[in-house]
Amino acid sequence: MTLRHRPWETAADFTIGLKPIPIADWLEGDEADPAARKDALLAARPGLVWAEAQGSRPGQGEALEMVEAALGPAPATPGLPPLYAAARRVPDDLCLMEKRDGAWRLTALSLSAGSFFTAEAVIGRSLAELHGPVTGFADGLLGRVQRIFEGLRPGLVLERRNWTLLNSADLHTPSPVPIRARIGAIAAADAGRALQLRVERQTLRRLPRTGGALFTIRVWLAPLESLAVEPPRLAAFATAWRTAPAAFRAYKRLDLYDGLVEGFLRSVGAPGGDADTHRP
């Protein structure tokens, strides 16, 4: 997989960063058979990758209609929940948000590339509950995100991107435990291959008939060493890594990789800095 997006080049930390894009650019595609990957996960561990709340089928159906409008009619999939039928068409994870009891809540999701969470653990949660682990979210960003959901207009597509780094080339990473347990076994010389840049490209659209919102998450992966062939991009990553604010670094646990990343950056001639230059 080749990274299509490099969000660290514009922001080293958390930003809402939602920007409008043309409807034609909503879904990026570029996976030959997402249904095969997702069906295998559903068969093996259904609770990790699929969940729906009672009463969400109308919104799911409208989400399927939206995907079909973009990609053409879906093949017949009798018996499948509509949102999962839609998710089989695209590489993205699909999340249905609906306003219930005065709060925007996650009422259905197909999750095949989740970063340290599972469908059964998050179904029914509100925006505040979903983002509770993000340092400072409740104080600084929650109100803005809620206003975005309230003011989202039909026909508008909003996009944002974020990033992290893991020692795993798997799209489906429901738990950090087995991944982090392997960090100590990574040799310094292998860091560029073992460490993966993990980029999420997210979009948000209103469902005009049922009033909900469809949130999509597409994950792109590439080994850290892929940056070495483009010195300007390597330098941008080095700067982002070394200057990311403490809250961002703590939430992403970037500290676990400091020695490996700094060793890699030195080995490929990235300019300046070392692990003790991180901004507090």
Please report the DSSP string for 240-261 in residue order.
Answer: HHHH--HHHHHHHTGGGGHHHH
Residue 206 lies in a domain: yes
The beta strands (E) that lie in 136-195 are given as 157-166
For residue 275, what pLDDT is reported? 45
Residue 280 lies in a domain: no
Residue 127 lies in a domain: yes
181, burial (CB in 10 Å: exposed 0-12, middle 13-18, buried 19+): exposed
CA distance 104 to 74: 28
CA distance 107 to 112: 17
Structural domains of the chain, count = 1
Residue 26 lies in a domain: yes
How far is the CA of 150 from the CAs of 98, 99, 269, 270, in angstroms? Answer: 11, 9, 47, 44
Give the pLDDT of the chain (280 residues) as one tens digit per residue. 467 787 888 764 445 578 999 999 999 988 999 999 999 999 999 999 999 999 999 999 999 999 999 999 877 788 999 999 999 999 999 999 999 999 999 999 999 998 898 999 999 999 888 876 554 544 557 788 889 999 999 999 999 998 999 999 999 999 999 999 999 999 999 999 999 999 999 999 999 999 999 999 999 999 999 999 889 889 999 999 998 888 888 889 999 999 999 999 999 988 776 544 554 4
Q: Which domain holds residue 196?
A: 7-269
Query: Is 0.85 surpassed by the pTM of this model?
Result: yes
Q: Cβ distance 112 to 172 under 8 Å? A: yes
Residue 157 lies in a domain: yes
CA distance 257 to 224: 12
Residue 104 lies in a domain: yes
For residue 270, what pLDDT is reported? 87
CA distance 107 to 241: 35
Nearest to 204 by CA among 165, 137, 257, 151: 151
Residue 149 lies in a domain: yes
For residue 137, what pLDDT is reported? 46
Residue 214 lies in a domain: yes
73, burial (CB in 10 Å: exposed 0-12, middle 13-18, buried 19+): exposed
DSSP state of 14: -
Amino acid at the residue 121: A
